[in-house]
Amino acid sequence: MEKGNILVIESNKATQKWIDSILKKAGYSVEIAENGFDGMRFAARSTHNLIIMDLGLSDTTGEMVYDSIRQNPMVGNVPFIIFSAKVDDAYKESLLEKGFADFVVKKPDVEFELLRAIIEAIQGPQSIVPDVKAGRLISFFSAKGGNGTSSLCINIAHNLAKKVDPKTVLVVDLALPMGSLAMMTGAKANKSIAEIASEGGSCDHDFLKECISHDETWNFSFIHGSRTPQEAQIIDPDKLNLLFASILKMYDYILVDLGKTLSRISLPILKRSDFVVAVFGADFVTVDLTLKTLAYLEEAGIQKTKVFPILNRAVGREGLTKSEIEDKYELKIQRAIPFAENKMNHSINQQVPYAQEFPEDVVNLVLNDIAGIMIVHNTGILELD
């Protein structure tokens, strides 16, 4: 269903094409004016729900166009959003006082911010944007410890980062009460998840870039976990929710290691996830706990189609077989990772990706396969075996 009719007054051809694409993809009808005088003419003859305009037009100024359109009583109440190069704060404030609804700075990765500004301008500042999100959120969890959830998370993230380059991948260590990914990867730890959430909440891009570390060996960025149980206790779920809203604007894929935590912290993240990787072992206790946890998640509103169960033989070859688990417990296993013997421990102790140490090993082939499954196409549909 069409959400509204937007007039875009923009002289730059590349920007015209980009903004036309994202607005139509978001469900809006778009009319493009290549200069200010065309913009005034189009505004007078058509009904628009919103006007988006650059200040630096090829034939006149954005302010002159705004003043002219505002004088027409038929279209004078249409909200305006400036989409232009960065200006100083005083000038920006004067423009907002003049009557512009918002000012969005042209910069990389601005799609989410622009779409949010559009919805707030049309529907009001309390509008929610449930369907506009730059990044894909992928959560890893286990119903019981010792199943290799963290090892799988970082190694699948490494393979994913190589597949989607130059798109960006972020790994968030939210395994409470203490994180381990900094030690497992050897990546430099900047601020922890608890520090970022407590300091920033709804963080801006520059602040987060200072907090988030990047490791060239692993090819992805990190938000490191809590350093102590005491630090974990200060995490505010509401501020954490705002933090995730911010990082979803910045990164294409966000992988979250939740460990075996199922709490007021992790449950909102699981509900928000586009893809939930449930890691479990082959012993009957872990399988039973996994089934109970999956049932709970379904009751909490998490769709079965989003859950991707992985059987990981992290401790040995003994235990139930894949067929026994599927037949006896009616649990569809999407992928089974064979026992890696001492290879996984070796790569973790060396703080290097499994793919770097054992690129042709069958375990890495499965990890790479799972990473490929996580690459969601524009349809948003995952084809699972």
Q: Are 36 and 9 in contact (CB under 8 A)?
A: yes
Q: Are 69 and 51 in contact (CB under 8 A)?
A: yes
Q: Are 276 and 308 in contact (CB under 8 A)?
A: yes
Q: Which pLDDT score, from 0 to 100, does residue 2 have? A: 60
Residue 200 has pLDDT above 60, yes or no: no
212-270: per-residue pLDDT in tens?
A: 988 899 999 999 999 899 988 888 887 888 888 889 888 999 999 999 878 888 998 99
Minimum mean pLDDT range among 74-88, 123-137, 192-206, 232-246: 123-137
Residues 6 or more apart whose Cβ sits within 8 Å of residue 184: 150, 151, 154, 348, 351
Distance between first and last Cα of the chain = 32
Q: Which pLDDT score, from 0 to 100, does residue 128 have? A: 39
Element at 116 (helix H, strand E): helix 111-123
Q: DSSP states of 260-282 as a string?
A: T--STTHHHHHHH-SEEEEEE-S
Strand order in the sheet with 102-105: 28-33, 4-9, 50-53, 80-84, 102-105
The tally of CA atoms less than 13 A away on the side-chain side of residue 80 is 27
Decide yes or no: CATH 3.40.50.2300 for domain 4-123.
Answer: yes
Rounded distance between C-alpha atoms, residue 294 and residue 299, angstroms = 9
Question: What's this model's pTM, rounded to 2 decimal places?
Answer: 0.64
Domain ranges within the chain, ordered by starting residue: 4-123, 136-373
Q: Is 229 exposed, middle or buried (0-12, 13-18, 19+ CB in 10 A)?
A: exposed
Secondary-structure class of domain 136-373 per CATH: alpha beta
The residue with tokens 């505004």 is 43
